[in-house]
Amino acid sequence: MKAQATIAALAAVALIAAGCGRSGSGGEETPPASTRAGQPVTGDFGDLKGVCGPGKASGSPARGVTADQIKVGVFSDVGYTKNPEYLDLAKVFASWCNAAGGINGRKIVPTVRDAKFMEVRQRMLEACREDFALAGGSAGLDGMGVKERLSCLLPDFPAQTSQIQANGADLQVAQTGGSSHNRYSGYYHWLLKEGYPGSAGAVGLMGGDSPVTKVLGGQAKEGLQAAGAKIVYDGLFPPQGTTDWTPYAQAVKSKGVKGLVFYGSFADLAKLEQVLTGMSYKLDWIDANNNSYGPAFLKLAANSLGAQNNLADLSGVYPLENAASNPASKQLTELYARYAPKAQVTLPAVRGFGAWLLFAKAAASCGDALTRKCVYEAARKESAWTAGGLLTPVDLTSADKPLQCFNVERATPQGWRPADFKPDKGAYRCDVPPYKYKGQYGRPLKLADVGKSMSDVK
């Protein structure tokens, strides 16, 4: 995530970090009557009112903004991953918002910045020349373009971030919690103290042998130990995978691992589980991470789902399989059915739609004088952002606030289902004990790193 082997290794890990696996619901369903062609389109979403709507904008107050349109960059690795989820998302959001009147009358024009995995810097330089802001996208090696983005003072509203340089960088408003805090603190505490307390004395870690995954693994190890875990196994495997998972399964068994955190592709996890199941070794739990949340993992791991207990923390995103029970999630599936009927609603797409909503709401509040400074500062005022109901409340007033809630899914032969994690606030549990990392894992880049400050942002 280097020579051909290194590039392949980095790519494998980047897929883990960026959440590039397709997941979720969606399909070729008939659009509900309220969203069929010919029906009026409202600019409301969930409990957000007037996110998009008509107006009489004038002038060009910032780069990428004219009286008629707003040019927004969308990062993706689609040229490498062949996964169009952020392209589909941009199409759905822009189609809906523009049909409702745009942002104060200005139409959103999304421009895909395909980093093709290794071309983040080149695409960022293009975005600097043309775009007003970035929204609703992600790149596996996003840290490679942060210096350029800050140098040209380009605001970023990402679906999610991957590398430490990008995670919480300046002029970025992300919905995923602060980078210095363990986002899985509540999840780990539930696993080790309530869900499976007998596993606390025998927890294992497995990850690809790459600098990117080693950072993730190091943070996981610290977070697990802080929650009371004893780490009995910490194994590395080739980040591009291996043809034989037997030695790794044997190591897990010989160490008596009862709970396993796996940092690798869900396809590799399915292969490991097949070997473990064939050895009649059943763990109390396996953290499959939320990249596995979707139908693809269920299919690959079908022969092991009855034997192994696969869990994933969605970190406050409403479960897709229960979309009909949540007005915002239901509306999102309806918008996909109308504007991209063959596309899937994925977990990264839900986060990305929230990022687009955040950008649009902030931009609309700026009125005719739409500037980068205004849109960034308006987004930073959101102290309980839910993306209309797609997410649990997130405090965006600072770049380094811990997440307050979590929710856990379990992979079953019947599909993904909420685990018994004792939610106390709707679909979520919000008694998360915050944990701030003590280890040194690097830091996000700041404007000062490129000789700039907020006073330069116009």
Does the structure show a pLDDT above 50 at 348?
Answer: yes
Does the structure show a pLDDT above 50 at 22?
Answer: no
Q: What percent of the chain has pLDDT over 90?
A: 85
Does the structure show a pLDDT above 50 at 21?
Answer: no
Does the structure show a pLDDT above 70 at 336?
Answer: yes
Does the structure show a pLDDT above 90 at 9?
Answer: no
Provide the pLDDT for residue 449. Answer: 98
Does the structure show a pLDDT above 80 at 5?
Answer: no
Provide the pLDDT for residue 31. Answer: 37
Apex CA 357: angle with CA 349 and CA 69, to 5°? Answer: 110
Tell me what the mean pLDDT of segment 16-35 comes to: 38
Structural domains of the chain, with CATH = 18-179+444-456 (3.40.50)
Provide the pLDDT for residue 11. Answer: 47
Does the structure show a pLDDT above 90 at 19?
Answer: no
Does the structure show a pLDDT above 70 at 99?
Answer: yes
Q: What is the mean pLDDT of the chain?
A: 91
Provide the pLDDT for residue 240. Answer: 83
Would strands 133-135 and 285-287 be described as parallel, antiparallel, or unpaired? Answer: unpaired
Does the structure show a pLDDT above 60 at 28?
Answer: no
Does the structure show a pLDDT above 50 at 424?
Answer: yes
Close Cβ partners of 178 (under 8 Å, ≥ 6 residues apart): 168, 398, 399, 400, 401, 402
pLDDT tier, 39 (very low <50, low <70, confident <90, very high otherwise): low
Provide the pLDDT for residue 23. Answer: 38
Does the structure show a pLDDT above 70 at 268?
Answer: yes
Phi, psi at residue 262, to the nearest 5°?
-115, 120
Close Cβ partners of 18 (under 8 Å, ≥ 6 residues apart): 77, 138, 139, 140, 142, 160, 162, 348
The pLDDT tens digits for 270-311 are 999 999 999 999 999 999 999 899 999 999 999 999 999 999
Provide the pLDDT for residue 38. Answer: 53
Does the structure show a pLDDT above 90 at 422?
Answer: yes
Q: Which of 32-41, 53-62, 204-213, 322-331 has the lowest mean pLDDT?
A: 32-41
Tell me how far apart the alpha carbons of residues 195 and 49 are, in angstroms, rounded to a whole number.
39
The pLDDT tens digits for 200-253 are 999 999 998 887 788 889 999 999 999 999 999 999 999 888 999 999 999 999
Burial pattern 273-296, b for ≥16 Cβ within 10 A else e, equals: bbbbbeeebebbbbbbbbbbbbeb
Provide the pLDDT for residue 3. Answer: 38
Would strands 69-76 and 133-135 be described as parallel, antiparallel, or unpaired? Answer: parallel
pLDDT tier, 315 (very low <50, low <70, confident <90, very high otherwise): very high
The pLDDT tens digits for 367-419 are 999 999 999 999 999 999 999 999 999 999 999 999 999 999 999 999 999 99
